[in-house]
Amino acid sequence: MDELKLLSLAEEGKEKAYAPYSGFQVGAALLTKEGRVFIGCNVENASYGLSNCAERTAVFSAVAAGCRDFDTLAIVSDSETFTYPCGACRQVLVEFNPDLKIIMRNQAGELKVEKAWDLLPHYFSGQNMEKLEGGKS
């Protein structure tokens, strides 16, 4: 799938966003290595801590459908600047693929491409949780 099609699907996600408090709609489209696409949007809640970002919505939908091998993530919003994944989303993204390609489009239609590990250097991973001899961590 080409980048423009993936960005178009992310735009569809943005239109479905539930953002009554911030008015800031974000859409994401996650392409798996098998060629499946999962669309996400941000979902706000009056208790802001219970809100969910578009990127994690797409990832969680993919995982719920049995997919865990991700290739590319497209992110769009109506911002004049590029909308980068938040810290929580960055951690979730590197969990599945530190080399994940992330394409962002701003309001002017300009594109920026990053890798997940570039956005979160020295990330926490399962290797950090390896047990010491004797089962103690």
Instruction: Please give the positions annotated as active site.
Output: 55
d(Cα 38, Cα 41) in Å, to the nearest integer?
A: 10
Kindly state the helix (H) or strand (E) to which residue 104 belongs, with its residue range.
Answer: strand 101-105
Q: Report the amino acid identity of residue 2.
A: D
d(Cα 1, Cα 114) in Å, to the nearest integer?
A: 18
Residue 107 burial (CB count, 10 A): 13
Judged on CB neighbours under 10 Å (0-12, 13-18, 19+), 109 is exposed
SS3 category, 23: coil
